[in-house]
């Protein structure tokens, strides 16, 4: 797999810093944090972002993210589509294939069918906008109790129901573990629809209490990463493993040192899985 660097790992650093350290640390691709891109473009141009990425020897893989895509009122839905168009235009300028799309909470007591159908409708509307600019949507379930879509199986059901060529999904190891997803659910996924694979680890704690702040470098926590990676490889995935770690403690460290440690530990876990699986 190619190794990607996600800007959430160094959230307090600006986009130019993310690009520089990802290149210096030896990553293959960059997953851009949308809010950092927004801030940079307040005073600069997207062409300058492309120049920095090219100079660093990187490719872009995704812009992360558009959040709370489901259960929006009319005004919220129009804002959602406007944001989709904006990021899709950036994708075209940056030669970036994917926009990560994240669900929000559901109304109290909403049944699964309502959650599924509402999310499908939102993704289809977003897909039509993104397609005008050649962009694709990667739907990411969140394994937190408040989220409307918490497992890989639920996300895959939604993506299958959407049934559009520019809509795929994300597997994030933290969310996979926290939400109780199963290895069998990975085996059901069409590899052509697995757009982004986020790799990270978490502290030992009750799953329902896990937050993004509890993430760790791969191999430093309790997630059965070898099993998850083996299952992902088992369906034929050989794309990008993007390191995404929202840990405030890491944000206080030297960004380049964090990027290097994240790469080394991710590479070690991926290599061990390859050796053990014989892939």
- Contact between residue 105 and residue 139 where contact means Cβ atoms under 8 Å apart: no
Q: Which two tokens stand for residue 140?
A: 């990411």
Cα 166 to chain center, whole Å?
Answer: 16
Tens of pLDDT along the chain (279 residues)?
Answer: 999 999 999 999 999 999 999 999 999 999 999 999 999 999 999 999 999 999 999 999 999 999 999 999 999 999 999 999 999 999 999 999 999 999 999 999 999 999 999 999 999 999 999 999 999 999 999 999 999 999 999 999 999 999 999 999 999 999 999 999 999 999 999 999 999 999 999 999 999 999 999 999 999 999 999 999 999 999 999 999 999 999 999 999 999 999 999 999 999 999 988 755 433
3-state class of 104 per DSSP?
coil
- Contact between residue 4 and residue 241 where contact means Cβ atoms under 8 Å apart: yes
**209 burial level (CB within 10 Å; 0-12, 13-18, 19+):** exposed
- Contact between residue 103 and residue 143 where contact means Cβ atoms under 8 Å apart: no
Start-to-end Cα distance in the chain: 11
Cα 9 to chain center, whole Å?
Answer: 12
Measure the CA–CA gap between 142 and 126, rounded to whole angstroms. Answer: 19
Measure the CA–CA gap between 259 and 255, rounded to whole angstroms. Answer: 6
Q: Which two tokens stand for residue 278?
A: 């014989």
Q: What is the pTM of this model?
A: 0.97
pLDDT (tens digit per residue) in 202-249: 999 999 999 999 999 999 999 999 999 999 999 999 999 999 999 999
Walk me through the domains of the chain, giving residue ranges and CATH numbers: 2-220+232-277 (3.20.20.150)
What is each CA distance from 116 to 97, 183, 270, in whole angstroms?
Answer: 25, 21, 33
- Number of helices (H), then strands (E), in the chain: 11, 10
- Predicted confidence at residue 276, as pLDDT, reads 58
């Amino acid at each position: 797999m190619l190794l990607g660097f996600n800007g959430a790992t160094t959230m307090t650093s600006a986009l130019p810093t993310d690009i520089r350290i990802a290149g210096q640390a030896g990553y293959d691709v960059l997953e851009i944090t949308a809010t950092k891109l927004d801030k940079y473009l307040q005073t600069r141009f997207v062409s300058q972002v492309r120049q920095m990425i090219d100079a660093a020897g990187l490719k872009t893989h995704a812009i992360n993210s558009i959040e709370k895509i489901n259960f929006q009122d009319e005004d919220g839905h129009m804002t959602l589509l406007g944001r989709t168009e904006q990021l899709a235009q950036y994708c075209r300028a940056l030669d970036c294939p994917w926009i990560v799309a994240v669900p929000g909470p559901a109304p109290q007591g909403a049944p699964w069918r309502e959650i599924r159908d509402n999310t499908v409708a939102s993704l289809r509307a977003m897909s039509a906008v993104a397609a005008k600019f050649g962009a694709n949507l990667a739907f990411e379930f969140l394994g937190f109790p408040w989220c409307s879509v918490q497992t890989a199986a639920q996300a895959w059901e939604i993506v299958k129901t959407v049934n559009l060529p520019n809509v795929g999904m994300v597997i994030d190891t933290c969310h996979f573990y926290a939400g109780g997803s199963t290895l069998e659910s990975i085996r059901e996924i069409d590899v052509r629809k697995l757009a982004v694979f986020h790799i990270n680890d978490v502290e030992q704690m009750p799953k329902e209490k896990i937050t993004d702040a509890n993430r760790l470098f791969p191999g430093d926590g309790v997630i059965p990463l070898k099993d998850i990676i083996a299952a992902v490889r088992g369906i034929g995935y050989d794309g990008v493993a993007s390191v995404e770690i929202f840990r405030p403690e890491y944000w206080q460290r030297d960004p380049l040192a964090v990027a290097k440690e994240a790469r080394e530990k991710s590479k070690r876990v991926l290599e061990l899985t390859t050796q053990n699986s014989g892939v």
